Amino acid sequence: MPVVGTSPKGQVIIPAALRKKIGLKAGAKVLVTLGEQDTVILRAVPADPVEAACGFLKGGPSLTRALGRERREDRIREAAKHARLVRPDRVSRRGARGRKRSDPAV
């Protein structure tokens, strides 16, 4: 593990072997984060992050299929909720025939 110094501006020279290993070229961006126990983590940022992310979900679960499944479940849930709120008439047919009307005009 090479030991490097820092300049008065806080700049650090990354050894050529490490730059080559992570694909870091002159003028490239580097993500710097602080790890555990005062460890500094350097990660090369791709020149085009969108292009680098292209296809990273390939081979995984289909998000379109998952969305369709979720929507079907929502329709079933809504239908059950609607069925609970709109109940059929609770009076049986026999009970409805013998009932007197409350309207005195008839």
Q: What's residue 75's pLDDT? A: 96
- Averaged pLDDT, 57-67: 83
Does the structure show a pLDDT above 90 at 8? yes
In the numeric block, the tokens 């002159």 are attached to 26
Distance CA 98, CA 26 (A): 94
HEC readout, 46-87: CCCHHHHHCCCCCCCCCHHHHHHHHHHHHHHHHHHHHHHHCC
Q: What's residue 96's pLDDT? A: 54
Does the structure show a pLDDT above 90 at 106? no
Its pTM stands at: 0.42
Q: What's residue 9's pLDDT? A: 94
Distance CA 36, CA 99 (A): 80
Neighbours of 30 (CB within 10 A): 12
The residues spanned by each domain of the chain are 16-46
Does the structure show a pLDDT above 60 at 48? yes
